[in-house]
Amino acid sequence: MKQEQSFQNLCNAIVNLDSSIRFVGIADNHGNLMATAERKGLKPLLNQEERAQYAITAATRQQTRLKWESVLGSISYACAYYDKVIRGTIPIKNRDNRLGNVLLFSFDAGTNNYHDIVTEKILPLIAKFTGQAKATKR
């Protein structure tokens, strides 16, 4: 299976894990979106161009976060609260333990259990997909 189709399958699976998940995308380490999925009936907050720009900045931020892992420990995910949405990123490392891809996701504003959804549903699915162990719930 081609990598893009495999990424598309992963995005589709993640967006269906919980009704509070709005959007899922996978970008390469340069921020080029390779696959996306969104909840059925969703009115997106960002247009295609804005989404592409966000992916580039998210990949850049993820590269910066990974630089601090030797001091702070491995990063599982990062989230930001906005008035209208909760957005997050998860690094997907390659076989050399370097950033290969970035998974972008968003939740409805007010999703109180987003940490549990990420740690108990999304991270295990990514680990299964990549064959890599992910950090456990804290």
Q: Report pTM.
A: 0.87
Supply the pLDDT for residue 74: 87
- The domain total for the chain is 1
Helix, strand or coil, per DSSP, at residue 15: helix
Domain range enclosing 26: 3-130
Residue 136 maps to a domain: no
Q: What is the DSSP string of 80-130?
A: EE-SSEEEEEEEEE-TTSSEEEEEEEEEETT-TTHHHHIIIIIHHHHHHHH
In this structure, what CATH number is given to the domain that contains residue 65?
3.30.450.30
Residue-wise pLDDT for 47-100, tens only, equals 999 999 999 999 988 888 888 888 999 889 999 999 999 999 999 987 777 778
Contacts 24+ apart (CB under 8 A), 77-82: 77/118, 77/122, 77/123, 79/114, 79/118, 81/109, 82/109
